[in-house]
């Protein structure tokens, strides 16, 4: 059975060589724009490609302001600072995520609370959030507090896992009810939409990532998305060392951060954005091929986009029957030069987060024992 899958992968990627999990597509104007950037000498944080990249992303996502950062993790940290997260606050999020989500929370010395995910989305479950808050939270003077720890519950950070949108509208309503800020970790979901609206634009702030393995890449990089233009302008100010504009004086009016994306990285981003529609269409075709291949398979289930959503299918995922079959699949495919990988180690099982609050994480653990990511690069 696994041998047939290896043959199928080689046929759709038309190769007998190693098949990576997700390689970047760099066949547009990347070299041209890089040369232009180098020739201009504006390779650092000032240059036309930075502005153009922000404008292109703002137009694509229908945000009122987009602000580039050096990477997605820094962008998420800054997003949490912008919505008022402080030391010892609690942040509701999911244990099924890449460690950057939990790390960004830790940079502020806040405390992640890991709640369960939905079977339909692999993302933070509104039902789990509502149930946990009903049992543990109360509103005092317009803020939400944990009755057991006495800490303020300041924000909620859902992550759109592998590009599949969470049930974001329900989370928005719950956060409003409990006076909690919603910050979307949309690092993996550029090109994903919920009811026609781009992910990362439902909360107070949304965060994208352009790491080398993402749908588009700037080598490294991230982006903050805002509907509140004034907050976005303030984010841009903080990300550039909070320097007050002046032709020669160096005056800073706040504690800022050196989170600026260099112009040379933004040049890559502009070239990548020009091919985004093609990349997404190609990846969607691949997803349909996987869907067809696995439709009658009783041992392996292909994970499809949730209801009322359009996923970017950043990383395709399948579900094996149990941990044993998961390991067998991983071993066989990787032994045969087809790169596959399990889902991340759960945040709640890592030493630095093992004492954090959870709600039992039933679905989360179920996924951990079954999920395997399979090749998802653009096919030529």
56-69: pLDDT as tens digits: 999 999 999 999 99
194-216: pLDDT as tens digits: 999 999 999 999 999 999 999 99
150-174: pLDDT as tens digits: 999 999 999 999 999 999 999 999 9
Using alpha carbons, select from 340, 281, 261 the residue that is nearest to residue 25: 281
Q: How far apart, in whole angstroms, are the C-alpha atoms of residue 225 and residue 75? A: 10
352-370: pLDDT as tens digits: 999 999 999 999 999 999 9
45, pLDDT greater than 90: no
Using alpha carbons, select from 119, 124, 134, 121 the residue that is nearest to residue 94: 124
Domains of the chain (ranges, CATH numbers):
2-24+276-374 (3.90.1150.10), 30-273 (3.40.640.10)
SS3 content of the chain, % helix, strand, coil (to 5): 40, 20, 40
- pLDDT (mean) for 332-349: 98
- pLDDT (mean) for 25-42: 95
- pLDDT (mean) for 118-141: 98
Contacts of 29 (CB under 8 A, 6+ apart): 270, 271, 274
Element containing residue 224 per DSSP (H, E): strand 222-226
The DSSP letter of residue 160 is -
275-309: pLDDT as tens digits: 999 999 999 999 999 999 999 999 999 999 999 99
1, pLDDT greater than 90: no
Q: How far apart, in whole angstroms, are the C-alpha atoms of residue 375 and residue 368? A: 18
Element containing residue 228 per DSSP (H, E): none
Using alpha carbons, select from 108, 74, 42, 90 the residue that is nearest to residue 266: 42
- pLDDT at position 44 is 85
Q: State the CB neighbour count (10 A cutoff) for residue 354.
A: 11
């Amino acid at each position: 059975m696994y041998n047939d899958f290896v043959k199928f992968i080689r046929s759709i990627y038309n190769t007998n060589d190693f098949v990576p999990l997700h390689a970047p597509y760099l066949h547009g104007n990347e070299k041209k724009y890089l040369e232009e950037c180098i020739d201009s000498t504006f390779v650092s944080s000032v240059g036309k490609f930075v502005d153009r990249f922000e404008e292109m992303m703002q137009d694509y996502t229908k945000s009122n302001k987009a602000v580039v950062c050096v990477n997605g993790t820094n962008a998420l940290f800054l997003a949490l600072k912008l919505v008022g997260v402080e030391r010892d606050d609690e942040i509701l999020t999911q244990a099924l995520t890449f460690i950057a989500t939990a790390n960004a929370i830790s940079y502020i010395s806040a405390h992640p609370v890991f709640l369960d995910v939905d079977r339909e989305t692999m993302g933070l479950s509104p039902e789990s959030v509502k149930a946990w808050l009903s049992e543990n939270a109360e509103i005092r003077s317009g803020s939400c507090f944990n009755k057991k720890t006495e800490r303020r519950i300041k924000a909620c950070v859902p992550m759109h896992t592998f590009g599949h949108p969470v049930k974001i509208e329900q989370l928005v309503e719950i956060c409003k009810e409990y006076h909690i800020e919603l910050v979307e970790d949309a690092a993996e979901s550029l090109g994903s939409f919920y009811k026609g609206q781009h992910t990362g634009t439902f909360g107070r702030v949304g965060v994208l990532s352009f790491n080398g393995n993402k749908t588009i890449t700037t080598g490294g990089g991230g982006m903050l998305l805002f509907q509140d233009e004034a907050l976005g302008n303030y984010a841009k100010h903080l990300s550039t060392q909070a320097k007050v504009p002046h032709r020669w004086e160096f005056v800073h009016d706040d504690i800022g951060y050196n989170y600026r994306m260099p112009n040379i990285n933004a040049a890559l981003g502009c070239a990548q954005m020009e091919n985004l529609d093609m990349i997404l269409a190609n990846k969607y075709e691949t997803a349909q091929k996987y869907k067809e291949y696995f439709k009658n398979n009783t041992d392996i289930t292909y994970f499809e986009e949730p209801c009322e959503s359009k996923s970017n299918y950043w990383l395709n995922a399948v579900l094996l029957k149990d941990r044993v079959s998961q390991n067998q699949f991983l071993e066989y495919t990787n032994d045969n030069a087809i790169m596959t990988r399990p889902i991340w180690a759960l945040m709640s099982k890592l030493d630095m987060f093992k004492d954090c609050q959870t709600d039992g994480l039933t679905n989360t653990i179920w996924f951990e024992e079954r999920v395997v990511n399979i090749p998802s690069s653009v096919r030529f």
